[in-house]
């Protein structure tokens, strides 16, 4: 029987709890040719270079593997600027960012901080009287999903509708499924999600509010309005990516703190530590492990290899984040690590749109986790993981606690002015 390759072992669910030794093995060959003719890139310098290289396309219509996976809309999902190249990418991203972040809407994310703090306080208050909690179900999931639903104007209660479809779409990435079963799951979930977002967009078109979908639909900026197809796709992108990756970031962060009680103690006594600590978490336990479906538009010489024009490329971000050539002692969790140029949010023109929102949510959640949960300790290590090999995080994270501390009198939940 043929020994599975390093990449096959990484995709194998049995290694989901700790793929990092396999990433170290993968880095021995910075650029690896796979049997299907595509290439893996696993070292920091080479990944960073390709993230900024205009010869690397994100247009999924150019990538046969993307089409097979339904990433280009074949699975019922609308294509987004995430899967486009300039100039279309730049135009649609600018329209979205005009209403989501600086310089045109600098207060939209920052203005959510009091509401985020309120949600976290309520979630932790609800743990009173419990001795065993699930950090995923009780904190890491409900915070970002509530925030993104309120931001987009999703009616209360509709989260229960789309959660089933999102879970099905993500479970379809499980390599243990045969390709036909994967495709069927993607098609069914994609069609349901698209119909859900089309209905939501039309509702906000008829009755605009102060939400992000209404703002994008009515924007008459210099780029013009976002077409209906793009608005549906962008809404789905923000809805799904806006909570799924943050769930992993918070859950991975809590797991890391429980495995490093000295850091948990430091954070409890010095909440300002949360700012560099979240950046280190994005390096050490990133929520997104690799970026597939890139395509070479020309021959690219990199890492001692020529990636030929037309070849598919997968950038293994999590391997680059543990590259000792970039990060001294990469397998150590050092919360105040300096010059942390991690790849946790990707890079280049496709740098994660929701990075500021995810950072703030993780900072608030993990600070209050440290301050208010008394003597938290893991029940099972490693915890059970979700099936996806690229959106990696615990499915559940059980912890025993001795109690829940009341908030400090006179202190509002959330970040101190020095750490915002």
At 63-79, the pLDDT tens digits run 877 766 655 554 455 67
Question: Does any domain span residue 175?
Answer: yes
Where residue 418 falls among pLDDT bands split at 50, 70, 90? very low
| Residue 416, CB-side half-sphere exposure with 13 Å CA sphere | 11
Q: What is the pLDDT of residues 290-301, one digit of tens each?
A: 999 999 999 999
CATH number reported for the structural domain that contains residue 74 in this entry: 1.10.630.10
The candidate with the shortest Cα–Cα distance to 154, out of 238, 60, 44, is 238
Stretch among 30-39, 243-252, 312-321, 402-411 having the lowest mean pLDDT: 402-411
Q: What range does the domain containing 406 cover?
A: 69-288+350-419
Q: How far apart are CA 400 and CA 419, in angstroms?
A: 29
Question: Does any domain span residue 106?
Answer: yes
Where residue 419 falls among pLDDT bands split at 50, 70, 90? very low
Q: What is the share, in percent, of the chain residues with pLDDT greater than 90?
A: 65
Number of folded domains in the chain? 1
Q: How far apart are CA 24 and CA 21, in angstroms?
A: 5
Question: Does any domain span residue 312?
Answer: no
Q: How far apart are CA 294 and CA 87, in angstroms?
A: 17
Quote the pTM value: 0.92
In the predicted model, is pLDDT for residue 417 greater than 70?
Answer: no
Question: Does any domain span residue 53?
Answer: no
Which residues, in sequence order, are bridge partners of residue 301?
A: 306
Q: What is the pLDDT of residues 249-288, one digit of tens each?
A: 999 999 999 999 999 999 999 999 999 999 999 999 999 9
List CB contacts of 372: < 8 A, sequence separation 6 or more. Answer: 124, 404, 405, 406, 407
Question: Does any domain span residue 170?
Answer: yes
Q: How far apart are CA 394 and CA 382, in angstroms?
A: 9
Question: Does any domain span residue 299?
Answer: no
> Mean pLDDT over all residues of the chain?
89
Q: What is the pLDDT of residues 76-115, one digit of tens each?
A: 556 789 999 999 999 999 888 888 877 677 788 888 999 9
Please tell me the predicted confidence (pLDDT) of residue 72: 53
In the predicted model, is pLDDT for residue 413 greater than 60?
Answer: no
Please tell me the predicted confidence (pLDDT) of residue 69: 61
Question: Does any domain span residue 138?
Answer: yes
Question: Does any domain span residue 365?
Answer: yes
């Amino acid at each position: 029987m043929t020994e599975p390759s390093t990449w096959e072992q990484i995709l194998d669910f049995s290694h989901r709890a700790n793929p990092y030794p396999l990433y170290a093995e993968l880095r021995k060959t910075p650029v690896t040719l796979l049997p299907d003719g595509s290439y893996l890139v696993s070292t920091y310098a080479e990944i960073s270079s390709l993230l900024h290289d205009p010869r690397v396309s994100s247009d999924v219509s150019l990538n046969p593997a993307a089409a097979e996976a339904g990433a280009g809309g074949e699975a019922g999902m609308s294509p987004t600027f995430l899967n486009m190249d300039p100039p279309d990418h730049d135009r649609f991203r600018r329209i979205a960012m005009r209403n989501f972040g600086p310089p045109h809407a600098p207060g939209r994310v920052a203005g959510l901080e009091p509401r985020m703090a309120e949600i976290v306080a309520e979630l932790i208050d609800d743990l009173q009287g419990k001795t065993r909690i699930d950090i995923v179900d009780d904190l890491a999931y409900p915070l970002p999903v509530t925030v993104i639903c309120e931001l987009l104007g999703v009616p209360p209660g509709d989260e229960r509708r789309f959660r089933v479809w999102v879970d099905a779409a993500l479970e379809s990435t499980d390599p243990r499924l045969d390709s036909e079963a994967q495709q069927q799951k993607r098609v069914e979930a994609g069609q349901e999600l698209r119909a859900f977002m089309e209905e939501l967009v039309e509702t906000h078109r008829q009755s605009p509010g102060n939400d992000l979908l209404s703002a994008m639909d009515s924007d008459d900026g210099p780029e013009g309005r976002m077409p209906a197809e793009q608005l549906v796709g962008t809404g789905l992108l923000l809805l799904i990516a806006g909570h799924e990756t943050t769930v992993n970031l918070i859950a991975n962060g809590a797991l890391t703190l429980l495995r490093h009680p000295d850091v948990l103690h430091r954070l409890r006594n010095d909440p300002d530590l949360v700012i560099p600590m979240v950046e280190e978490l994005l390096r050490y336990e990133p929520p997104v492990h690799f970026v597939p479906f890139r395509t070479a538009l020309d021959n690219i010489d990199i890492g001692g290899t020529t990636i030929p024009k037309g070849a598919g490329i997968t950038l293994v971000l999590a391997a680059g984040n543990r590259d000792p050539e970039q990060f001294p002692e990469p397998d150590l969790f050092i919360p105040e690590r300096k010059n942390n140029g991690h790849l946790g949010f990707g890079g280049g023109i496709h740098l994660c749109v929701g990075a500021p929102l995810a950072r703030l949510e993780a900072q608030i959640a993990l600070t209050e986790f440290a301050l208010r949960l008394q003597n938290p300790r893991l029940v099972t290590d490693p915890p059970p993981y979700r099936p996806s090999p690229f959106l990696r995080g615990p499915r559940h994270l059980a912890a025993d606690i001795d109690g829940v501390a009341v908030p400090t009198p006179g202190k509002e939940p959330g970040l101190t002015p020095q750490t915002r």
